[in-house]
């Protein structure tokens, strides 16, 4: 299964080429997959590079770093961000809440310091000079966070990635074609209105570009997304699932927008953290992304955004940075996805009902 996993990443997601500089970012927990990727990269004539992440080391940094260090941007990190051809990030946590006791102020300062890295990434993604993918490896920590047994979680991941099919690459190509039909409809839409429990929100998307997340950059894929006009968001929305930022959970998030900006923010749990993150910078108060979750092989919330934002029958919106490839102009050091179940909701496009019971109306996209 891991060799199939590696081929999917290398040949479909990032299409590794001869003499590419390929960066793998992972914890040691994913070493079996790292080894398969390393071998595959070398076999394809590319140069592999590995950065190991560790939650304890990250916690130590935040716990003991003074303000000067928190504000420091490494020239080495900047050089790598500007020069690699391919970046493969493997989520493989050994602990899902390493920063739970770190001051939000420290997180805010560090987010501002690394804003340039986010901007480099967004720019290179937009111009197509960086091929990247984020995927996940089944660890016991992630399984526990998702309230699954280790074997159950492994099966969940492999199904979400379509590794259970005979030819995962062909399966993702079919998913891509279906999502492209949805995009062909949405790119003609000027205004979207979301109506559901404690939610009535409108926003403008005319002239913006809808992106087909077909597994090329997120594996699993299974969404279409764009960016709203920065000053167009009006109304209110309550998100179904906890909004998680670097291990910190904020539950029952309700946001009220006026002229595109958040004017009220409430939460059942973590409201102070939510409000602190909204103050990171001016862009943090505005939406940088709107999206529809379309991977119906993902049916449950796991507290891992890579999977949760793709849940079939959901929408999600992100506070903060917009992907320039969508035409979005919002700039921020954060990009915080928040998810809403729409199985009992409705979406209107320019006044017409186009989505209900968690799915686009078939006649709309046929």
Give the model's pLDDT for residue 73: 94
Contact (Cβ atoms closer than 8 angstroms) between residue 48 and residue 35: no
Give residue 324's pLDDT band: very low, low, confident or very high (50, 70, 90).
Answer: confident
Q: Residue 93 above 90 pLDDT?
A: no
CATH number at residue 53: 3.40.1830.10
* 210 vs 111: which has the higher pLDDT: 210
Q: What is the spatial distance between Cα 230 and Cα 319, in angstroms, rounded to a whole number? A: 11
Give residue 102's pLDDT band: very low, low, confident or very high (50, 70, 90).
Answer: confident
Tell me: do 174 and 155 sit in the same domain.
no
Using alpha carbons, select from 119, 135, 30 the residue that is nearest to residue 86: 135
Q: What is the spatial distance between Cα 364 and Cα 184, in angstroms, rounded to a whole number? A: 10
Using alpha carbons, select from 21, 71, 66 the residue that is nearest to residue 41: 21
Query: Would you call 96 helix, strand, or coil by DSSP?
Result: coil
Tell me: do 151 and 192 sit in the same domain.
no
Q: What is the spatial distance between Cα 107 and Cα 104, in angstroms, rounded to a whole number? A: 5
Give the model's pLDDT for residue 127: 86
Tell me: do 253 and 230 sit in the same domain.
yes
Q: Residue 96 above 80 pLDDT?
A: no
Choose one of 160, 179, 212: the last residue of a domain: 160
Tell me: do 186 and 153 sit in the same domain.
no
Tell me: do 199 and 312 sit in the same domain.
yes
Q: What is the spatial distance between Cα 281 and Cα 286, in angstroms, rounded to a whole number? A: 10
Mean pLDDT across 182-209:
96
Tell me: do 136 and 188 sit in the same domain.
no
Give residue 79's pLDDT band: very low, low, confident or very high (50, 70, 90).
Answer: very high
Give the total number of structural domains in the chain.
2
Helical segments of the chain, H only: 2-7, 31-43, 55-64, 67-70, 75-83, 104-113, 115-127, 140-145, 150-160, 168-186, 271-278, 305-308, 362-365
Span 56-69, pLDDT tens digits: 899 999 999 999 99
Give the model's pLDDT for residue 228: 97
Tell me: do 75 and 188 sit in the same domain.
no
Contact (Cβ atoms closer than 8 angstroms) between residue 55 and residue 94: yes
Give the model's pLDDT for residue 280: 87
The DSSP line for 321-343 is PPPGGGT-----S-EEEEEEE-T
Count of Cβ atoms closer than 10 Å to residue 131 Cβ:
21
Q: Residue 126 above 90 pLDDT?
A: no
Mean pLDDT across 121-145:
91
Choose one of 125, 160, 195: the last residue of a domain: 160
For the chain, percent of residues with pLDDT exceeding 70 = 100
Structure tokens at 92: 């493989």
Give the model's pLDDT for residue 245: 87
Give residue 26's pLDDT band: very low, low, confident or very high (50, 70, 90).
Answer: very high
Tell me: do 213 and 150 sit in the same domain.
no
Choose one of 98, 127, 160: the last residue of a domain: 160
Give the model's pLDDT for residue 235: 97
* 102 vs 327: which has the higher pLDDT: 327
State the distance between the two ends of the chain, measured CA to CA, in whole angstroms. Answer: 35
Give the model's pLDDT for residue 20: 97
CA-based radius of gyration for the chain: 20
Give residue 293's pLDDT band: very low, low, confident or very high (50, 70, 90).
Answer: very high
For the chain, percent of residues with pLDDT exceeding 90 = 82
Give the model's pLDDT for residue 313: 96
Contact (Cβ atoms closer than 8 angstroms) between residue 36 and residue 64: no
DSSP, res 252: S
Tell me: do 172 and 156 sit in the same domain.
no
Give the model's pLDDT for residue 112: 87
**Domain, as residue range, for 337:** 168-365
Q: Residue 30 above 90 pLDDT?
A: yes
Using alpha carbons, select from 49, 33, 11, 170 the residue that is nearest to residue 92: 33
Tell me: do 144 and 180 sit in the same domain.
no
Span 234-272, pLDDT tens digits: 999 999 999 998 778 999 999 999 999 999 999 999 999
Tell me: do 60 and 144 sit in the same domain.
yes
Quick check: pTM over 0.95?
no
Contact (Cβ atoms closer than 8 angstroms) between residue 307 and residue 160: yes
Contacts of 144 (CB under 8 A, 6+ apart): none
Tell me: do 51 and 172 sit in the same domain.
no
């Amino acid at each position: 299964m891991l060799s199939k996993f590696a081929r999917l990443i290398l040949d479909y997601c990032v299409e590794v080429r001869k003499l590419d500089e390929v960066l793998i970012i992972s914890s040691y927990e994913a070493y079996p997959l790292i080894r398969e990727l390393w071998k595959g990269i070398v076999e394809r004539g590319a140069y592999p590079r590995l950065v190991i992440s560790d939650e304890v080391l990250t916690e130590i940094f935040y716990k003991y770093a003074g303000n000067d260090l928190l504000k420091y941007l490494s020239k080495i990190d900047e050089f790598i961000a500007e020069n690699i051809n391919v970046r493969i990030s493997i989520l493989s946590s050994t602990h899902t809440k390493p920063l739970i006791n770190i001051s939000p102020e420290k997180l805010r300062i560090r987010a501002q310091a690394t804003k340039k890295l986010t901007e480099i990434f967004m720019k290179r993604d937009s111009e197509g000079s960086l091929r990247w993918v984020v995927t996940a490896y089944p660890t016991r920590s992630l399984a526990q966070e998702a309230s699954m047994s280790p074997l159950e979680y492994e099966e969940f991941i492999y199904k979400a990635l379509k590794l259970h099919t005979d030819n995962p690459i062909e399966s993702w190509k079919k998913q891509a074609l279906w999502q492209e039909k949805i995009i062909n409809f949405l790119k003609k839409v000027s205004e979207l209105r979301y109506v559901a429990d404690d939610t009535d929100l409108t926003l403008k998307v005319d002239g913006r570009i809808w992106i087909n997340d077909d597994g090329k950059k997120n594996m699993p894929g299974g969404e279409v997304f764009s960016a709203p006009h920065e000053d167009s968001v009006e109304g209110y929305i309550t998100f179904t699932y906890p909004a998680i930022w670097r291990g910190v959970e904020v539950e029952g998030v309700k946001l009220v927008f006026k002229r595109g900006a958040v004017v009220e923010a409430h939460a059942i749990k973590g409201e102070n953290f939510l409000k602190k993150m909204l103050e990171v910078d001016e862009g943090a108060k505005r939406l940088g992304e709107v999206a529809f979750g379309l991977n119906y092989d993902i049916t449950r919330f796991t507290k891992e955004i890579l999977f949760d934002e793709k849940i079939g029958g959901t929408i999600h919106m992100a506070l903060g940075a917009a992907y320039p490839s969508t035409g979005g102009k919002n700039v921020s050091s954060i990009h915080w996805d928040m998810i809403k179940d729409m199985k009992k909701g409705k979406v209107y496009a320019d006044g017409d009902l186009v989505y209900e019971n968690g799915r686009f109306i078939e006649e709309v996209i046929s």
